Amino acid sequence: MQKSARKLGGQPRIDQADRDTIPLFSYGFRPFFLGAAIWALVALILLMGSLMGLWELAPGYGALAWHGHEMLFGYASGVVAGFLLTAVPNWTGRLPVAGWRLALLFALWCMGRLAFLAIGLTGALPAVVIDVAFLPCLLVVMAREIVMGRNWRNLRPLTLVGLLAAANIAFHAEVLIASAPDFGLRAGVAGLVALIVLIGGRITPSFTHSWLLRAGSPVLPVSFGLADKLAILASGLALLAWIAVPEAKLTALLFLAAASALSVRLWRWEGVRAWREPLLLVLHAGYAFVPLGFLFGAFAILVPGSLAGTAPLHAWTVGAVGLMTLGVMTRATRGHTGRELAASPVTMAIYGAMIAAALLRIGAGALPQAYMLLIGAAGAAWTAAFALFLLEYAPMLLGRRPERSAD
């Protein structure tokens, strides 16, 4: 029977796991954060080469559909896996999934990326089967850990992993049947936004509360209450409406309600008081792109043909997902590898590059005369963010925890 993880500073003790297996497979964040960051770079290079006519990506899907899929169900799903495999031991008190079990799960994620690249050689069905297998397997592994740990309330976030899994299947089905993703793409984006609203809405005020308390601030984030519940409900209804009827006036009204409720929720977390700590500020900034996306979305529906264009989609995917994932990856990597929870100059440059990528990508839709220039600049900023991440954090993810000096 698996023993419960001992606690050290509120987190499961992972020194033993580091000693018992190679570091890369000692804890879930290590392979998945590393793999996701590498894939974020490789996938963009492959996309740009395809658009330049150097090679063809995913015959039958097209380069843009492949790009959307790999950002949602490749990169982002890999980060979600790394986060959940790291967080669930904290929630349950059980030892982390590690060793050969973790290696198999990571290999399945990698096989999905390779299968989709080789779809022209293998045919659609084998590639799709391999690709869609990862998220259901992750769901089963995580559900088992939570049930074995009797931590029932944390089964709720797993429903969103189930939504991502269903969206991935829908994405492939739509392309193979109707030649273009629509419902599945929106459902995938909605699932990631909902995860940020739910889990980002848990960790951001919690980390901010701890930091402000240590800093002696007289004002702390407001505890979870009715305003938070209303924000979660409003955003959930808005996302469901967007999946089902993306251009309806009702969807626009729900978007406005969600933008307002989430903005109030974010303000109550007192992020402005934590401006001196970039590891915290990036989480608030990433979360801010969620209501911004709802606001852009409402404007795009209510003013057809406006310059809003794809602004809501990229506010969510590049802004919210990009910043929140990098914020979580940098903080978790530092904390779980025994480093100081403080942003280095390189880490701050990572955050700055991703903010620039988000603003440039949103601006590209609003400034058609400079579209290609802004797209290129956004791609360069995205590349810089992940190149810098790998430069600083790959050695931490691959290496063992620093030895603690004896007291």
DSSP string, 217-249: -S--PPPS-HHHHHHHHHHHHHHHHHHH-TT-H
Q: How far apart, in whole angstroms, are the C-alpha atoms of residue 252 and residue 9?
A: 45
Instruction: Of 313, 323, 303, 329, give the one whose Cα is nearest residue 381.
Output: 323
DSSP string, 165-181: HHHHHHHHHHHHHHSS-
pLDDT at 275: 87
pLDDT at 7: 35
The answer to whether 28 and 142 are in contact (CB under 8 A) is no
Q: What are phi and psi of 174, to 5 degrees?
A: -65, -40
Whether residue 168 is found in the same domain as residue 208: no
Among 180, 215, 250, where does a domain finish? Answer: 180
pLDDT at 405: 43
* 290 belongs to a structural domain: yes
Q: Coil, strand, or helix at residue 403?
A: coil
Confidence of residue 1 (pLDDT cuts 50, 70, 90): very low
pLDDT digits (tens, 9 = 90+) for 326-362: 999 999 999 999 999 999 999 999 999 999 999 999 9
Termini Cα distance of the chain: 33
pLDDT digits (tens, 9 = 90+) for 379-401: 999 999 999 999 999 999 999 88
pLDDT digits (tens, 9 = 90+) for 22-63: 889 999 999 999 999 999 999 999 999 998 888 888 888 889
Q: Coil, strand, or helix at residue 27?
A: coil
Task: Output 150 or 8, whichever has higher pLDDT.
Answer: 150
pLDDT at 303: 87
Q: How far apart, in whole angstroms, are the C-alpha atoms of residue 146 and residue 370?
A: 49
Q: How far apart, in whole angstroms, are the C-alpha atoms of residue 131 and residue 126?
A: 9
Whether residue 252 is found in the same domain as residue 330: yes
Whether residue 109 is found in the same domain as residue 89: yes
* 404 belongs to a structural domain: no
* 407 belongs to a structural domain: no
Among 180, 202, 227, where does a domain finish? Answer: 180
pLDDT digits (tens, 9 = 90+) for 154-205: 888 889 999 999 999 999 999 888 878 889 999 999 999 999 999 999 999 9
Tokens of 344: 């280095």
* 293 belongs to a structural domain: yes
pLDDT at 306: 64
Whether residue 234 is found in the same domain as residue 111: no
Instruction: Of 334, 363, 327, give the one whose Cα is nearest residue 348.
Output: 327
What is the reported pTM? 0.92
Whether residue 211 is found in the same domain as residue 122: no
pLDDT at 152 over 90: no
Among the ranges given (234-238, 261-265, 306-310), the one the predictor scored with the smallest mean pLDDT: 306-310
Whether residue 223 is found in the same domain as residue 371: yes
pLDDT at 404: 57
The answer to whether 195 and 290 are in contact (CB under 8 A) is no
- Residue 58 neighbours by CB distance under 10 Å: 23
pLDDT at 106: 98
Among 180, 210, 244, where does a domain finish? Answer: 180
pLDDT at 341: 92
Whether residue 225 is found in the same domain as residue 173: no
pLDDT at 307: 60
Domain that holds residue 198: 182-399
Burial 284-319 (b: 16+ CB within 10 A, else e): bbbbbbbbbbbbbbbbbbeeeeeebbebbbbbbbbb
pLDDT at 16 over 80: no
* 244 belongs to a structural domain: yes
Q: How many domains does the chain have?
A: 2
* 156 belongs to a structural domain: yes
Whether residue 256 is found in the same domain as residue 328: yes
Give the rounded percent of residues in the chain with a pLDDT score beyond 90: 71
Residue 49 CA to chain centroid, in angstroms?
25
How confident is the model over 261-278, as a mean pLDDT? 94
Mean pLDDT over the full length of the chain = 90
pLDDT digits (tens, 9 = 90+) for 116-147: 998 888 888 999 999 999 999 999 999 998 98
Whether residue 112 is found in the same domain as residue 192: no
pLDDT digits (tens, 9 = 90+) for 210-252: 999 999 989 999 999 999 999 999 999 999 999 999 999 999 9
Instruction: Of 127, 112, 157, give the one whose Cα is nearest residue 139.
Output: 157
* 37 belongs to a structural domain: yes
pLDDT at 90: 85
* 138 belongs to a structural domain: yes
Whether residue 175 is found in the same domain as residue 193: no
DSSP string, 49-67: HHHTTSS--TTTT-HHHHH
Q: Which helix (H) or strand (E) holds 12?
A: strand 11-12
Write down the residue that tokens 């602004």 correspond to: 311
DSSP letter (8 states) at residue 56: -
Alpha-carbon torsion (176, 44, 345, 274), positive or negative? negative
Q: How far apart, in whole angstroms, are the C-alpha atoms of residue 20 and residue 3?
A: 15
Whether residue 190 is found in the same domain as residue 175: no
Confidence of residue 20 (pLDDT cuts 50, 70, 90): low
Write down the residue that tokens 């940020």 correspond to: 196
Burial of 166 (0-12, 13-18, 19+ CB in 10 A): middle
- Residue 270 neighbours by CB distance under 10 Å: 18
State the Cα torsion 385-388-389-392 to the nearest 10°. Answer: -160
The answer to whether 405 and 28 are in contact (CB under 8 A) is no
Q: How far, in Å, are 61, 147, 160, 194, 391 from residue 191 at the CA level?
A: 22, 22, 6, 5, 30
pLDDT at 51: 85
Whether residue 264 is found in the same domain as residue 334: yes
